[in-house]
A and B are shown apart, each in its own frame.
Chain A
């Protein structure tokens, strides 16, 4: 079996010296100023740097490239919103060297053929590694298990019916149990109870009542989190909880981890940044599932990420066409793009206020997601012989989020926001795919 991206690598002997960076490499327990030399796609063990291309990294942070385990790229099916290539370019600009496209494409990624197609499109783009997520159930229907084993053979590690919870506890039980046959395979759940969110447009609370929008109460998430943790206990299965949004869910995950259940959890940059108050002007870019919740939920998510109850920042990058989002609120599809703003959101809302160290930020954007994904070439440590999947960013750089985006879509909840933290260079297998903040191809 061939790993993703191997056929997109460089064949030209090439040396790059990343000079004077603050190297933040949590996997090696390292945070110090130093040089990193890259030769022929891998980190070199010192040696001569003469003749190498020198990237001055003074005042910049060098870290293992980011890994997104929750991306929507819309190909196959809705290439007008995003293709694998444009998604990969957006990822590279955001400092990501690996992404995981979700299975809700058309056709659904519930079989090895679609998995191969998406990964091959990624390899052809050659901008980052692409690890497709497989569907848990056929056509995301929630009833019949998809051929998980065949997709595992095709390289899939994460399975998810993202967009919906698996409605039946029995089907989830079987999936978690069945997946135990495969080392490292993860069942990732979107947690929202379908009956409780019917017609729901936003977080249910004071603002939904005054805006006249049907609510999605936080309990719709907590009910499913509680059920899924119980099923994880029942099966001993490996469960991952996608995009947590409520304080109650964070607390349940804490208890589950203390109990020793095999569970991990993610949070999105937008849930860390915004609340339901941001919907007061009916701006459809803030319409996301699960919804943006109350300030106390956002605080719990931030604290949960800081102390490790939540493992991962994942973007849930969800591109939508302009005409779909420029519509009546209840008719607009949910989702915000997020690859190009993820780092800045984390730096601005967590690192700058002192809630999160830079090392912990890198851990949640790179080390932990790489581990969950089983992407051994990512997440560091930055050591000789390892693939040079690296990001260099300026944690202090201020910028305003505005089009153009590398993504085909521009439905960003961060539009017009002034953020801190900007990616300068992204190296994918030793190639500078982003240089001085610009995509190189």
Chain B
């Protein structure tokens, strides 16, 4: 594997299997009374968050702590960043403090790659602008494999604002890499025009897609997009593309409903749909910790989950 995880393009299908298998062995740690292994004892992981994201930051923080790493959280509020320090100066400071890994979340696409020019440690992309969110894609793959037993030939629809979604990008690339069949669904204004080049299908009609799915993956739709006139109203969006009770009935038996969170209940997903048994949204969150443990472990080359031998 590469030293960094910036994009799904950085990993091969074999890497992905290895990451999911490693996460599998770490998942058990989370069920223990003492949820901790010494794999990264003495290593320093910095969470560098330029964008608010409580769930991703906490997930990375827990993952690093369960591996016994020292964790520093560096967020925009109250840090030098809000006083106008540049990304470069912040990076050099963290470098001088001996960070072994930097987990970065940033609203500007490409900033994780830019960061690698200034630090010696590993860089993990925790979401950059409208570019990628590879750890989210990997935890989603983990959840699909765990529940459905395979990734190959899984039929997955990703529904919503694909154009502005780093989750949709990373997930599409990862699923295609693993041999799944992906369909992007949404209003044409929110589907990237070159989506066919990603190896995916495109549909503007959710009703025709649902009956053939193993996984229906709903994306968060920001109300701001309506103001930018990507669609006429939130009401019309929910009517045409929302996952309603009625639409859930069109899904085959045994299929999954997923969402990366945070949900806009009543927009892309009807409130009680999120709480149905086939919805695995909470499992996604739980699995996120195991995936991030696996990634930190593999990128930093720590000792094994049971202390010592490696995997």
Report A's interface with B, CB cutoff 8 A: 201, 205-206, 209-214, 281-282, 323, 326-331
Given contacts A323-B86, A328-B106, 19 further A-B contacts (CB under 8 A): A205-B194, A206-B194, A206-B197, A209-B192, A211-B109, A211-B131, A212-B110, A212-B128, A212-B129, A212-B132, A213-B129, A214-B130, A326-B86, A328-B110, A328-B114, A329-B108, A330-B108, A330-B129, A331-B108
Instruction: Report yes or no: A327 in contact with B87, Cβ–Cβ below 8 A.
Output: yes
Q: How distant is the Cα of A17 from the Cα of B17 in the complex, in angstroms?
A: 73
Chain A contacts of B27 at CB under 8 A?
none
Instruction: Report yes or no: A282 in contact with B194, Cβ–Cβ below 8 A.
Output: no
A206-B194, A206-B197 are known contacts. Are A213 and B110 too (CB-CB below 8 A)?
A: yes
The distance from the CB of B42 to the nearest CB of chain A, in whole angstroms, is: 32
B222 at the interface (CB under 8 A from A): no
B176 at the interface (CB under 8 A from A): no
> Of all chain A residues, which has the CB nearest B132?
A212
The distance from the CB of B196 to the nearest CB of chain A, in whole angstroms, is: 11
Instruction: Report yes or no: B87 in contact with A212, Cβ–Cβ below 8 A.
Output: no
Chain A contacts of B86 at CB under 8 A?
323, 326-327
B299 at the interface (CB under 8 A from A): no
B111 at the interface (CB under 8 A from A): yes
Chain B contacts of A212 at CB under 8 A?
109-110, 128-132, 166, 169
The distance from the CB of A376 to the nearest CB of chain B, in whole angstroms, is: 47
Q: Mark B138-181, 1 if CB is under 8 A from A, else 0.
A: 00000000000000000000000000001001000000000000
> Of all chain A residues, which has the CB nearest B113?
A282
Chain A contacts of B109 at CB under 8 A?
201, 211-213, 282, 329-330
Q: How distant is the Cα of A106 from the Cα of B88 in the complex, in angstroms?
A: 28
The distance from the CB of B272 to the nearest CB of chain A, in whole angstroms, is: 33
9 A-B Cβ contacts within 8 A? A205-B194, A210-B169, A212-B110, A212-B169, A213-B129, A213-B131, A281-B113, A323-B88, A329-B110
Chain A contacts of B193 at CB under 8 A?
209
Chain A contacts of B195 at CB under 8 A?
209
> Of all chain B residues, which has the CB nearest A198?
B228
Q: How distant is the Cα of A195 from the Cα of B195 in the complex, in angstroms?
A: 24
Q: How distant is the Cα of A201 from the Cα of B114 in the complex, in angstroms?
A: 16
Instruction: Report yes or no: A209 in contact with B194, Cβ–Cβ below 8 A.
Output: yes
> Of all chain A residues, which has the CB nearest B163?
A209
Q: Mark B115-147, 1 if CB is under 8 A from A, else 0.
A: 000000000000011111000000000000000
What's the dominant secondary structure at chain A's contact region? Answer: loop
Report B's interface with A, CB cutoff 8 A: 86-88, 106, 108-111, 113-114, 128-132, 166, 169, 192-195, 197
> Of all chain B residues, which has the CB nearest A322?
B88
Q: How distant is the Cα of A329 from the Cα of B106 in the complex, in angstroms?
A: 11
Chain B CB count within 10 A is highest, among A211, A212, A331, for A212
| Closest 3 A/B residue pairs (Cβ) | A212-B131, A282-B110, A328-B108
Chain A contacts of B130 at CB under 8 A?
212-214
The distance from the CB of A201 to the nearest CB of chain B, in whole angstroms, is: 8
A206-B194, A327-B86, A327-B87 are known contacts. Are A282 and B129 too (CB-CB below 8 A)?
A: no
The distance from the CB of A321 to the nearest CB of chain B, in whole angstroms, is: 11
Q: How distant is the Cα of A323 from the Cα of B169 in the complex, in angstroms?
A: 30
The distance from the CB of A400 to the nearest CB of chain B, in whole angstroms, is: 20
Chain B contacts of A201 at CB under 8 A?
109
Q: How distant is the Cα of A211 from the Cα of B131 in the complex, in angstroms?
A: 6
Chain A contacts of B132 at CB under 8 A?
212
Chain B contacts of A206 at CB under 8 A?
194, 197
Chain B contacts of A205 at CB under 8 A?
194
The distance from the CB of A194 to the nearest CB of chain B, in whole angstroms, is: 15
Q: How distant is the Cα of A331 from the Cα of B131 in the complex, in angstroms?
A: 15
> Of all chain B residues, which has the CB nearest A212?
B131
Chain B contacts of A328 at CB under 8 A?
87, 106, 108, 110-111, 114
The distance from the CB of B139 to the nearest CB of chain A, in whole angstroms, is: 20
Q: How distant is the Cα of A212 from the Cα of B169 in the complex, in angstroms?
A: 9
The distance from the CB of A39 to the nearest CB of chain B, in whole angstroms, is: 53
Chain B contacts of A213 at CB under 8 A?
109-110, 129-131
Q: How distant is the Cα of A212 from the Cα of B7 in the complex, in angstroms?
A: 11
> Of all chain B residues, which has the CB nearest A201?
B109
Chain B contacts of A326 at CB under 8 A?
86, 88
The distance from the CB of A180 to the nearest CB of chain B, in whole angstroms, is: 40
Chain A CB count within 10 A is highest, among B86, B110, B113, B197, for B110
Chain B contacts of A330 at CB under 8 A?
108-109, 129
Q: How distant is the Cα of A329 from the Cα of B108 in the complex, in angstroms?
A: 7
Q: How distant is the Cα of A34 from the Cα of B113 in the complex, in angstroms?
A: 54
Chain A contacts of B131 at CB under 8 A?
211-213
Contact pick for A329, options B88, B111, B192, B194, CB 8 Å: B111
The distance from the CB of B89 to the nearest CB of chain A, in whole angstroms, is: 9
Chain A contacts of B194 at CB under 8 A?
205-206, 209
Q: How distant is the Cα of A42 from the Cα of B110 in the complex, in angstroms?
A: 53
The distance from the CB of B105 to the nearest CB of chain A, in whole angstroms, is: 13
Q: How distant is the Cα of A323 from the Cα of B166 in the complex, in angstroms?
A: 27
The distance from the CB of A209 to the nearest CB of chain B, in whole angstroms, is: 4
The distance from the CB of B91 to the nearest CB of chain A, in whole angstroms, is: 10
Q: How distant is the Cα of A328 from the Cα of B85 in the complex, in angstroms?
A: 12
Chain B contacts of A282 at CB under 8 A?
109-110, 113-114
Q: How distant is the Cα of A210 from the Cα of B197 in the complex, in angstroms?
A: 10
Chain B contacts of A329 at CB under 8 A?
108-111, 114
The distance from the CB of B148 to the nearest CB of chain A, in whole angstroms, is: 28
The distance from the CB of A129 to the nearest CB of chain B, in whole angstroms, is: 38
> Of all chain B residues, which has the CB nearest A279?
B110
> Of all chain A residues, which has the CB nearest B129?
A212
Q: How distant is the Cα of A330 from the Cα of B166 in the complex, in angstroms?
A: 16
Chain A contacts of B113 at CB under 8 A?
281-282
Chain B contacts of A210 at CB under 8 A?
169
Chain B contacts of A209 at CB under 8 A?
192-195
Q: How distant is the Cα of A331 from the Cα of B111 in the complex, in angstroms?
A: 10
Q: How distant is the Cα of A206 from the Cα of B128 in the complex, in angstroms?
A: 18
Chain A contacts of B111 at CB under 8 A?
328-329
The distance from the CB of A213 to the nearest CB of chain B, in whole angstroms, is: 5
> Of all chain B residues, which has the CB nearest A199?
B228
Chain B contacts of A331 at CB under 8 A?
108
Chain A contacts of B106 at CB under 8 A?
328
Chain B contacts of A211 at CB under 8 A?
109-110, 131
> Of all chain B residues, which has the CB nearest A204?
B193
